[in-house]
Amino acid sequence: MEKLYEKITDHILQKVKSGELKAEEKVPSENELAAAFGVSRMTARKAVDNLVSRGYLYKVHGKGTYVSNQKEKIKIYFDEMTGFHERAVSYNKTAYTVVIRFEKKDPSEWVRQKLNLSEGEVYYIERLRFIDGRPVVFEISYMPVHIFPELTQEKVEVSKYDYLKELGHEILWSEKEFFAVMPDASIQQQLHINDRTPVFKVELTGALETNELFEYTKIFYNQTEFRFLERVGKD
């Protein structure tokens, strides 16, 4: 026996895929769907929420439910994200970085392990990057203080890596781990997304020419408004 909410999910999905329901068009309300399919509102709601999670629909509290518009999303290549200002601007987009938090503190045991640190403080840095006024990326970085004794909020607002070069350092290697996660409340707030929207996440560990680990960073990508791509072997 097929589940009741699956019937409704499939019914709406078919209309979206076939184009009968077009981008930005309004979907029947939860009450209307419940009446039309002869189910309770909670069941109709679960059906709609499934499609919200999968990115086909989005809801606006007090207004209604609408079909998402994939084509409007802005494409971003990862190599544009390093040297953030320069390139993004060249594509006729405004781009800037806001430092949400910048402080020295004692790292947790977890961060200590990630940075292979036995002692000493780290910088805790939260940055939010915008393109065309919309939040693209939220970053949380941990960097050992002893490697960057003079790091300031101003330097971090521009580029961490530029400052690295100024100090005469180079990046020997880095390691990235990739995740799909559901956002916690703070991520939802920063990226202006809801609790049903999965988020693409990268954890980054970087090492200097001395093999010392100089950063552990968590990066959260807002894929409701942007698309994230990588090119290999093409100019």
Q: Catalog residues that contact a second copy under the rule CB under 8 A.
A: 6, 50, 53-55, 171-182, 184-185, 195, 198-201, 207, 221, 223, 227-234
Residue 119: partners with Cβ closer than 8 Å, 6 or more residues away: none
Q: Are 186 and 138 in contact (CB under 8 A)?
A: no
Nearer to a second copy, 84 or 228 (CB): 228
Q: How far apart are CA 56 and CA 75, in angstroms?
A: 18
CB of 110 to DNA, least distance (A): 27
Instruction: Please select the residue that binds DNA; options are 53, 159, 194, 224, rule is CB under 7 A.
Output: 194
Which residue in 21, 18, 36, 31 sits closest to 67, CA to CA? Answer: 21
Which residue in 175, 190, 196 sits closest to 221, CA to CA? Answer: 190
Instruction: Please select the residue that binds DNA; options are 10, 15, 29, 207, rule is CB under 7 A.
Output: 29
CB of 12 to DNA, least distance (A): 11
Query: Is residue 80 involved in binding DNA (CB under 7 A)?
Result: no
Give the relative orientation of helices 30-37 and 4-18 as an angle to the nearest 10 degrees: 110
To 5 degrees, how large is the angle CA 226–CA 221–CA 101? 125
Nearer to a second copy, 60 or 180 (CB): 180
For DNA, what does the binding mask look like between residues 9 and 28, x meaning CB under 7 A? ------------------x-
Enumerate binding residues for DNA (CB under 7 A): 1, 3-6, 27, 29-32, 38-43, 45-46, 48, 59-65, 194
